[in-house]
Structures are given as structure tokens and as C-alpha cells.
Structure 1
Amino acid sequence: SDVTLTGDVTDEADNCTLDLEATYTDATADGDCPNASIITRTWTLTDECGNSTTLDQTINVVDSTPPTFTAPDDITIECDQDASDVTLTGDVTDEADNCTLDLEATYTDATTDGDCPNTYTITRTWTLMDECGNTTSLDQTINVVDTTVPTIVGEFQEVININCDNIPEVPELVFEDMCSTDITVIGPIETVNVIDEDNYQIIWTWTVNDECGNGETYTQTINVSIVDTITAVDSGLCVLDLSIDLFSLLSGDVDQNGTWSVSSGDATLNGSFFDPSQFLDINQGFDPAVLGDYIFTYTLTDSACPSETQVTIALHDLCVVLPCGEEDVIISKAVTPNGDNNNEFFTITGVETCGFTVELQIFNRWGAEIYKNFDYENDWNGTAHSSSVGSHDKVPTGTYYYILNLKNSGLKPFAGPIYVGTK
């Protein structure tokens, strides 16, 4: 209807009438598509006497202008995100056309594989077409990547504070990845750090990688406080008792992979066994000096609860039953070696079956030793050292004194006078 665009009649003329103005009427026929049409415009010019001239103008109304829009910006998303979600990747919101209203852009995707599994590049071609087939296409690039590390399934406690007797087992971790099914796990690798004499750390480390090389290191730190889990009980042991396993003197959570040592006392151990028989001679005798306290130390180093524990064994002789007592010993009062078979020898009797060794010393009244035998067999009949009696082999008649020790008897030495009659 804009004749400045479609054309106007500008040369009206008549032989009689001036200032004539041509007018028109339109007849419209549909075109090949919506918004396209053919207008037959009939122009008419009539003078004042009714003389008319009519001419036709054809106006072809066409749609040859493509629609316009702006493609969404190129974007990079993670492989676990939905590339078809245009609220994430971007949508066309400014569709426009000179003739058609309410146009909606559509898209098609072409995919190219990426550098590792589950990554790819999408070339998204957006297309907008009006009702007459005029089309505009623009491309958007969507990069689908995997930059997310594998994660632990379930709860994971990074730091645990615990006593050494309650250290947990190494957790069996399960890892997952949003895109990869092939996850590489190295570990757990254990590291132990000593903090001080009462504390140490156990560190377990796992290193995981997915198929795209995304890796993470997960660490669990166990802060361990050392507590004494072993209780020792001191004991007494007789020198004639059987060997004792020192572990029997310990109670609690006892790890038997440690070592025993002698901390006090001259003794030897056979592993964890202490055998008092090591102090006995072939006659089951012993030196009283071996009696007393023996201290043994149990040391644990390669253990969750390293420790040193001492036990004391008091070695005594309370179990020793003397085969013969003091009251069993009969000592001669006199020696008269005159051939009448009475009191011919100085004798110690009553203990013949006791297994004692008799140690005998005899002195004169001035304290001079006239006889000594440390394995006496009841065979002294008044003989003496030549230096103590001159040229005689018998001691003079008189009173003499003896000291008698019954070796291995546990009895105190005996001492007393003896009359010797050699005339």
C-alpha cells in the first residue's frame, strides 16, 4: 500500500480537466508460500465528464529474506553432564524473521571422538527456517571432557586417633568415576612415622587414576598412642623347681614375638624359659650365693604396642629338704688307738647315706693344725703332721679341737673338743 515503494501515477493528464488524481483497486492472489502473494493493482483515471482510463499494475510480494538468530556460545562440559540439556549448553532465544513469527531454531549434532574414552567434541548446527523455506544455519562447538578425579564410595575418615591396642584394619576402599570404568589403584602403601616414645603414626596411601589420566591421592592417618597392654606378676621360685616359662608371668594382650633378656642376676635363658637347675651341681647341690632376685625384661619392638616389661623372680631354697639334719650327726668324743677295737678312729656317723663330703680339720690347744682332710673317711687315729709332734707319728695324749664341715649339707660347720689318748 506504500505507493512510494510500489509506484504511483504521476503523469495524469486530460484535454479538458486539470488536477486529476489516479486511484487504484487491488485484487490479491496467493503466492507460493505463506506471506507471498500476487497483487493486481488496477489504476483508474476519470475526468469531469466521466471519461475513464484503466491500467493494471502487477505487484509480486515475495519472501526471500532468511531469518536471523544468534548461536549459543561454545562451551566445555564434563562427561557426566547431559549435552542434550540446552539449559546447560545454551539455547537460541533471539529467533527473528521479516515475515514469519514464532520461529523456533532446531539443531543437529555431529560428534568427533576425543583423546580418551568418554570425551568427544560435538558440532551442534542450529537451523532456523521461515515459512518460505529461507534458512539460516550457525554452528556451536561443545567440548565434552573428563577432568574429574575418581572418588571414594561411602564414608572415608582421613584422620583417626586411637590407642595401639585398637588399631583398625586397613580399609578396603572402593573407588568410582563418573565416566571411566577402568580405574587404576596403587596401594594401600603403609608408612610409619615415630613421633616420640609414646606416639607414632601409621599412614595408608592410595593413588587412583581414571582412563583420562585424572589422578588423586587419598591418605588416611592413624595417630597411635602407645599404652601398656602387658601386666607382669613377680614370682618366687625354688632352686630345685622345674623351669618356668616367663610368659606365664605376663597377662593382657601379650604378643609373644618379642625377646627376653636378663637385666639383673647371673643367669641364662632358653628363649622364654628360666631353669633353676642351671645352678645345681651333679649332686644337686648349689652355692647359696645364687639365691636372690633375678630380673628379666621382655622387649617388644616390632609390635603395634612396643614395650619393655620386667618381671622379678626371687630364687630361694625353701623347697630344699635336707637329707640329714644336725640331730643326725654323731661325732666321736674320744680317740684311743690302743688296739682294743674301741674308739680306734675319730668317726662321724649317722650321715653315711646322706651323700655329704666330710671336711675335717684338727687343732691342738695352741691352735696349730695337726690334721686336715677334705674328704675324710673316718680313718684318723691320732696321727699328725711331723712338724707338730717332733719325731713321733702320734699326737700326745690330750684334748684337741676339731672343725667339721659337711659339704653340700646346708648345715653350719661343727666345732668341738675331742680327747685323744695315745698311751
Structure 2
Amino acid sequence: QICEIINPINCDTATVSVTVTAPAIVANDDVFSIENCTSVGLLGSVLINDSINGNPVVASAVNISLVSGLNSNIQLDNLGNINILNGTIPGTYVLTYQICEKSNTENCDTAVITIIIKDSTAPVFASLPVQSTIQCSTTPDFAQATATDTCSSVTLTFVDATVQGSCIGSYTITRTWTATDLAGNAITASQRISVQDTNGPTTTTEFASNINVNCDAIPLKPELIFTDNCSTVSPALFTEKITNSSLNSYSIVREWSVSDSCGNVSKFTQIVNVTASNNATPIVSSACNGDSSTINIFNLLPEGTLINGTWTDVDNTGALQGNILSPFGLTLGNKVFEYRINDEMCPKSIQLTVNINDDCIVLGCGNIKVHNAFSPNGDGINEVFVIDNIENTTCYQENTVEIYNRWGVLVFETKNYNNQTNNFEGISRGRTTISQSSGLPTGTYFYILNYSAINGNGKVEIKKLDGYLYLSK
């Protein structure tokens, strides 16, 4: 409003508009590069290329903060300084920061910080064992490689390469390790193990290396089975020779020579010391004089006995023709026959004693006989009710036994009675009893025995025996 001084009421008014604009704040992108991952500390300031109204930014005039890409090993302070801490892994890191005027906190701008940490140094291996040589029976055991890196963790891989030797059991294995860090820097190291076969074959067959025998008991050559821990086994070369020969003894030397595909040779020896004595060997057999069939007594000799000898009927039975014996009709008792082998290396005499019996002659059935007294008192004598021949089921196929007390009460009954396992021991076991499985008192009882028998016409008939039975204790 304006008014005249001389006329203060002569006035007029007007409006004045003043526009105040915020200064232009500009944050520019920054790129920092570290050639060696071990370099740490201050990289620089992100504010150095930022401006307000075209003027360099003064740190005290702005608030600065990270809005993305936060990393505990990368720090941005309130002066705009970027610091790298120890242990930061090589790579490229992208962070976004923001600056705002302190006097006008809504006047802000953002920019990107790119930090490149380089790693051009490969990992370092700890020492590996030197080349070693082992037997083929031993499994190659490689050491576990270890490697370290100044900047990052290390990944270990390996590849095995096998070179075959001159035979199956000979070869070389080379294990090549590769250590790679996170930047892709790699280094290799190798360990070599040579495998060789210097041991000959062995046998899985147990056999005696030294044997003392009579000339009639020389064992057969053992069939050895050979094996090798690494290689194939060639067929064995076997030799047998007689040494130390004298009038009454000699030795048999058996030798097996066997090799594997690597040329290793093993020898196995068995020495059989033989005594050439002419002692008669006794053997015993039997035959029935009711049997009309003949016996080839060669079959009674020990297995492996030569059959080029001669037989002599020592007792002059007249029943021996060559090697065929006819026992029919001979008198009972022992009959002696001698077999001789006139072998220069091992003369031999075998004395065969044949017991002539009448076991093959069928006898008649024994009579059924009831023993009508017994004493089940635990002394081991006459403990059960005995029926002679009742167990001969060929003659007496079936039977039943019933026993009653003096009042006619059934105290025991059974089918197919026998004197061993199905017998009357003075224990109540009837359909109607005084006391089941209790010991019966001393007294007189009555038995009834029904049994089947074969009559003279070959037919089965039922017979019955009954009578008094006395039980005492």
C-alpha cells in the first residue's frame, strides 16, 4: 500500500510474489577399482564429483546414506568416504547412495557406487607326499590335498590317470589336484603311486607238507587250488620222484611249481615218507548161513586195494571159489580168509574174518506172557506191569489193556500197550477213576488183554487173556 504524505487518505494497494527455488543437487556415479584383494582401507570420497547449484558439495551441508547394496565389509561414513575392510571377497559390488540437503531434507539425489576388487593370485598347495611304491594287494591311499588363498575360499577337485604296467598287477596311478579360488585362478599339483606285484601265487588248499605212512596207505596226490592276489595264475607244473630208497623205506617227493602273469614263481612241496612193512591188516564182516546168495569178497577190502592178489581159504571151508564166497550151509562161527598182494614196493596181507550167523533165518513168534505182579515203589526193579512179546507188532499188530480194582472200577485202559512208553505204572488212568494220575494202593486188581494174532492159516484173529494182577509197594 502506498499513500500520499500530504493526503494520507489517498492510497492504493498491490501484491508482490517472490519465488524461491531449491538449489540443484546432483549426485554422480562413482567407480573404484582395487588391483589387489589384500588392499584395504579408504578408497575415496563419493562426494568429490557431486554438486549443489553447480558448486562442490560440502559434507557438512548434506546427509549421506546407503539405500541398497549394503555389505558389512564396505562402509560409507557421513563425510562420503568409502572404506573396505579386511576379508572382502574379490568381485564387483554395486551400492546406491543418497545425499540430501540438511536445510531441505526433501532436496535429494541418488547415485551408484561401483567397486571392483580384483584377484589375480592363484591359491597355494600345501606339500603332497612324494611318489611311493606299494604291493598290489594294498589299496592305493592318496593324501587329501589342502590349499589356501589370500582372498577367497578354495574349491578342490582331482582327476586320476592310470597307466598299465607290464602285467596285470603292475600299474601307476597319478592323482592331479586342481585348486580354484572364487576369481577363477587355479593351480595344480600331483601325487603318484606305483603299484607292483612281487609275490608269487598261494594255495587255498590245506595239505600236510610231511607225511609218514605205511606203503599200503600212501595218500593220493592232493589237488591244490592256486590263487594270486593280483594276477592270473598259470597252470601248475607237477613233478613226483622217489628218493632215499632202502630195503624197508623210501620217500616220495611231490612238487608243484606255479607262476603268475607277472613272472613270480612259487613252489609247494609234499614229502611222503613210506615204510614198506608187511603187516597183516585185519578186517571183519558177517554173513548168514541161510542166505543162498554169494558174496564178492573183493568188495569187503579197503577202498583202493589192488585186486591182482590171491585169496586163501585158511579154515578150508570149501565155500570160497576165487573171490566168491558162498555162506549157505556153513557152520556158525568165524571163518578166516587171507588176501595177499606180492608187490615189490609194498607187499600186503589182509586177513578177512567172516562171522557166520543165522540172523536171516526167520524164527516163530514168541508167546504172549503176562507177569501178574509188580512193585512200583521207585527202586528201579519190576516197576511196571510187563507183558512179554506184546511189542512184536509183526506177530501181534494191535492190543488193548483194561485194569479194574477189586470193586470193578476201571483204573487203567490203553490201546497198543508196550512195556516202555505206554505201560501201567500203578497210576490211575481209566475212564472212571478214583483220582486221576494218582498212585493206586497195594492190592489185587483184574486185567483184560485183547490182542490180534496171525493163526496157522495166515489170517488175523482176536485173542483174549485175563486174570488177577497183584500190585505191591
Q: Which TM-score band applies after superposition, normalised by the shorter structure?
A: 0.3 to 0.5
Q: Please, what TM-score do these two structures have when normalized by structure 1?
A: 0.41
Q: Please, what TM-score do these two structures have when normalized by structure 2?
A: 0.37
Higher Rg: 1
